[in-house]
Structure 1
Amino acid sequence: MYLPQHFAESDLTEIHRIIRAHPLGMLVRTTSDGLEADHLPFLLDADQGSGGTLIAHVARANSVWKEVQDGADVLVVFRGVDGYVSPNWYPGKLETHRRVPTWNYEVVHAHGKIHVRDDEKFIRGVVARLTHKHEADQAKPWKMGDAPTDYLAEQLSRIVGIEIVLTRLECKRKLNQHRELPDREGAIEGLTSSGNQALAQAMRDTLKAGEAKNPK
């Protein structure tokens, strides 16, 4: 990934936040036919392994778990907030017209080694943890015990667990950090007005972080 220093994010807490907030990852692997990608909701276990571990499950009908070699290198891409930034939002454009459109975004490249876990205890644990996380904000959270025992057992038999032990994390937050303050504030205002509140907030956060590191 092309990663200029001013866009590089090295704070592990921030990287983990992006993964947890945007858990649908793109698993990229090498096969005999070339590169393949699968899109899976992952759960990050930051305490397992020196670099953390990603866990997920796939349909038994998905050939990914049969094709990967144990311990093979894979890449999981997590996309955070993103959006178009118009040059018209930069005050500097009115002065010099030397501004162009761009696209701001957050992305994490999680490199690791994949392991297939085709055992009922692990699979049940993955489903339980994913359910607990994503049902947490429901008025009446669904739990595995809500399903009939025989039905749940049948459903669990149709999936296979995967585990990716992370070896390297790269994070890029392209949020106008290289521009002057008026242009950064103008872009935030433009994004807010156009309805992209999430990206605008991410850019505000980088401003605050920069101010904290370099107080006046």
Structure 2
Amino acid sequence: MYLPPAFREEDLPTLHTQIAQTPLAILLSHGANGFESSHLPLLLSPEEGRFGTLKGHFARANPHWRSLAAGAEAMVIFPGPQAYVSPSYYPSKAEHGKAVPTWNYIAVHAYGHAEVYDDPQRLRELLAQLTRQHEQGRAQPWSLSDAPADYLDSMLRAIVGFSLPIERLEGKWKLSQNRSQEDRAGVREQLAGSALASEVALAARMAECAKGAS
């Protein structure tokens, strides 16, 4: 990922927070079948390894897992909020007109090599963790025990799990840091008033970064 110094984020807890806040990641690799990609819900174990370990599963029918089992390096993308930034958002445009459209966004890329497995007990533990993560807070959270045992066993045979220790981790927080304080404030104000939830979310993240920099 292209990382100009102004937009580079290297704080590990900040990167882990963004990973945890991204419920569906994009896993890519290149193997015998060329480039492959899968959209997967992943768990992060932050204390496992230097940068943490990602855990998830594929449908067994998805051939993507075979390239990981063969040793292909994986890249996992965790996209955050994003927004188009019009030159009209910058107060400085009225002064000199030196502005062009751009895009603000947050993204984390993780790289590593995965261990692939199909042990039923290990898969059951993985699914239990994923379920707890996404069912917590519901009035009647679903759990694995709600499904018939024979049905669950058949579902376990239909998936393949993986554990991916993160070997390299990159974060890009492109939030108008290369503009003046007044221009950044102008962008935040415009995005905060947007009808798009992703733009409002990005404005909030820009406000957080502004507080951290003050």
* TM norm structure 1: 0.94
- Flag the 1:165–1:201 CA change in 2: closer, same or farther, 3 A: same
- The residue type equivalent to 1:89 in the other structure is Y
Q: Measure the CA separation in 1 of the matches of 2:89 and 2:29.
A: 40
Q: Which runs of 5+ in 1 are unaligned?
A: 212-216
- Asked if the contact 2:57/2:160 (under 8 Å) is kept, the reply is yes
Q: Which residue of 1 aligns with 2:162?
A: 162
Amino acid at match of 2:212: A
Distance 2:67 2:178 in 1: 43
Counterpart-to-counterpart distance in 2, 1:126 and 1:71? 22
Q: 1:199 aligns with which of 202, 205, 210?
A: 202
TM-score by length of 2: 0.94
Shift of 1:112: 0.8
Written as runs of structure 1 = structure 2, the 5 A alignment for 1:57-206 is 57-195=57-195, 196-206=199-209
- In structure 1, the residue matched to 2:12 is 12
4+ long deviations beyond 6 Å: none
Given that 1:177 and 1:206 are in contact with CA atoms closer than 8 Å, whether structure 2 keeps it comes out as no
Shift of the alpha carbon at 1:104? 0.4
Q: Is the 1:70–1:116 contact (alpha carbons within 8 Å) kept by the matching residues of 2? A: no
Change in Cα spacing, 1:152 to 1:69, as seen in structure 2 (3 Å) is closer
Instruction: Give the Å deviation of 1:70.
Output: 4.9
What amino acid is aligned across from residue 206 of structure 1 in structure 2?
Answer: C
Query: How many percent identity over aligned positions?
Result: 45
Structure 2's unaligned 5+ residue stretches are: none
Aligned residues: 211
How far apart, CA to CA, are the structure 2 residues paired with 1:34 and 1:190?
Answer: 42
Amino acid of the residue matched to residue 43 of structure 1? L
RMSD: 1.2
Q: Tell me the distance in 2 between the aligned counterparts of 1:92 and 1:43.
A: 43
- The answer to whether 1:53 aligns with 2:56 is no
The Cα shift of 1:207 comes to: 0.7
Rounded to whole Å, the distance in 1 between the matches of 2:139 and 2:96 is: 53
Taking the aligned partners of 2:71 and 2:51, their CA distance within structure 1 comes to 15
- Per-residue CA distance 1:80-103 (angstroms, 9 max, x = gap): 111111111111111111111111
Q: Distance in 1 between matches of 2:83 and 2:27?
A: 23
Distance 2:141 2:6 in 1: 42
Instruction: Tell whether the 8 Å contact from 1:70 to 1:115 is kept in structure 2 after alignment.
Output: no
The equivalent residue for 2:212 is 209
> How far 1:69 moved relative to its partner?
3.5
